Amino acid sequence: MSHKYWRAGLITVVSSIALLGFSEQVVADTSPRPAGQKRIVCNPQCETVSTSAAPTSRPAQPVLAQPAAKQPGAAGKRNPFSYDSLPAMDGKAINLPASSANLAPAPAGDLWQVVSLAVNRYPSIRDAASVLEQRREGIDVARAGYLPKVDVGISSGRQSFGSNGQALSLTASQMLYDFGKVGGAVTEAESNVVLQQVKWQGEIDDIALQAAEAVIEVRRYEALVNAAQAQKEQLEKLQQLAARRVSEGASTQADLIQAQSRVEAAEASLLASQTQLSQQRSKLRILIGQEPLNDIAVPESRLVQALATIEPDLEMTIGVQQAEAEWSVAQAQASQAKANAKPTVSLDAGVDKYLGNVPSGRDEYAYTLTVSVKHSLFDGGAPSARIRGAGQAVRAAEERIHTRKLEAQNAWFRLQEQMAGLSSRIKVLGDRYKSMVDTRALYEQQYLALGTRSLLDLLNAEQEIFQAQTDRENSRHDLWLAQVNYINATGHMRNVFALMGASS
């Protein structure tokens, strides 16, 4: 009858281990899990869909938790990012019906529409989103350490009582106390999710910036092509005028040759601008997945209004957020290295059933129930080295935060000065263009009526007008580029363009 009691006892022990493990899991995972949460699906456009309850809570749209201020080199003094404060992935994504995935998108007529289209179609964003989902699953992998581990197996060979045969084994093990090993693994997994979330948002910002810059460059070369075409037409008129005056004997052949040379130079300039325009349109076509429209609108007033609402904050920049998330990962790894240098206490139970011939007087079942304490007595100094290395990684991450903040401030100041300088330059170039147009009219009158100006003066005036117009257009588009880059450098790209991943 004794083996019956052992069986009953083993069942009780295994059940207790399972209940203990699940109770540990409940304690470790007390975050709410709403059934109506959302996740991102890209096929090929990114959209948000409702899902069933997920393993972890994903609150909708809180801003990333800002870590407390720290002193340089003060490892362990800084509160790491909280996984519970992670922004939801749905953000302000453009919700597209599932059936629209294979439909051609509507043409994008302005800067905002082009940026949104590029973000919803470009594959690198879906790549980063998939990696983020992979990181989320890593949290469940880490939390599995709270649950019991049950193994089953069969072995064949010589048994302890002297006969050969097979044995079927069932073992269960439940971690009782591990000095934070599993908790540290969960924290590290959550920190990796936050880090990948920031990388995903950074990829959105990067594609949005590329699309905005491509639109501005297309607009730039459209304007330069128009300016080059206008110059060529004006020079052709002067060439015809020179040819007529040569035929009338009022001018020399040299005037006609000079006019012909200027027309050829203008044609070469036009071809160069057309080539650049084709290249920029190809770049934009790749980003948005369709042929871009001509004369895409760049709402200047909307850009200026967006700039007026931006208050630069170092904690909003992607570079600083990524450095802080990397610090959180390093801090979790440092805690994990310390925990791994300590013992682990576990409750282990098992039963073996012998399948071969069992001698009389021997029970076909063998039971074990132990409390185990496992610890590495000597590992060549590896645990201490890991702890020291993890501490250096934390300090390196702290310095990286300082570096990213300095780089962000430098970018802000540079772009602010650039925008101020370009705004002033555009006004001056506008006045210069008007002056040169008036000068051309005066030279033309003096050339035809008074004869006090030469054809070369008219040709030079046309060249100056073209140069002034080119400088003005380049400065105008450089200003747009500086404005868009400033929006990106301050971390407001997703908010200004109402993209997925934007903070509320």
Q: What is the pLDDT of residues 149-193, one digit of tens each?
A: 999 998 877 666 556 678 889 999 999 999 999 999 999 999 999
Q: Select the highest-mean-pLDDT range: 13-27, 90-104, 249-263.
A: 249-263
Whether residue 48 is predicted with pLDDT greater than 80 in this model: the reply is no
| Domains of the chain, earliest start first | 2-68+86-496 (1.20.1600.10)
Q: Which of 31-45, 270-284, 413-427 has the lowest mean pLDDT?
A: 31-45
pLDDT over 90 percentage in the chain: 62
CA distance 65 to 61: 11
Residue 14 burial (CB count, 10 A): 20
Cα separations (Å) of 124 from 44, 69, 203, 208? 11, 33, 7, 12
For the residues 51-70, what does the mean pLDDT come to? 36
Q: Is the pLDDT of residue 364 over 80?
A: no
pLDDT over 60 at 398, yes or no: yes
The residue written with tokens 């015809």 in the block is 240
Greatest pairwise CA separation for the chain in angstroms:
136
Q: Is the pLDDT of residue 216 over 70?
A: yes
Question: Quick one: DSSP state of residue 110?
Answer: B
Average pLDDT over residues 80-101: 39
Banded model confidence at residue 53, pLDDT cuts 50, 70, 90: very low
Q: What percent of the chain has pLDDT over 70?
A: 75
Q: Which two tokens stand for residue 488?
A: 């990106």
Tell me the average pLDDT across 231-244.
92
pLDDT surpassing 50 at residue 62: no
pLDDT-derived band at 261 (thresholds 50, 70, 90) equals: very high
Query: According to the model, what pLDDT value does residue 417 have?
Result: 96
User: What does pLDDT average to over the chain?
Assistant: 81
Residues 6+ apart with CB under 8 A from 215: 111, 114, 115, 284, 292, 296, 298
Rounded mean pLDDT of 378-391? Answer: 92
pLDDT at 363 over 90: no
**Bridge partner residues of 374 (DSSP):** 344
**pLDDT in the model for residue 465:** 95
Please say if the pLDDT value at position 27 is more than 80: no
Does residue 426 contact residue 476 with C-beta atoms inside 8 Å? yes
The answer, yes or no, to whether residue 47 has pLDDT greater than 80, is: no
75 has pLDDT over 60:
no
Q: Output the pLDDT for position 106.
A: 58
- Answer yes or no: is pLDDT of 272 > 60: yes
d(CA 166, CA 153): 10
pLDDT by residue (tens digit) across 350-359? 998 887 676 6
Q: Peptide bond preceding 148: is omega within 30 degrees of 0, i.e. cis? A: no
Res 327: pLDDT: 97
Token representation of residue 112: 């905002």
- Cα distance between the two ends of the chain: 69
Give bridge partners of residue 169 from the DSSP assignment.
153, 352
Q: What is the structure's pLDDT at 42?
A: 45
Distance CA(155)–CA(347), nearest Å, equals 23
Each residue of 123-140: pLDDT tens digit?
Answer: 999 999 999 999 999 999
Is residue 90's pLDDT more than 70? Answer: no
Per-residue pLDDT, 366: 82
Mean pLDDT of 357-377: 80
- The answer, yes or no, to whether residue 144 has pLDDT greater than 80, is yes
Question: CA 272, CA 278: separation in Å to the nearest integer?
Answer: 10
On the question of pLDDT at 107 being above 80, the answer is no
Identify the residue with better confidence: 431 or 47. Answer: 431
- Phi/psi for 84 (5° steps) reads -65, -20
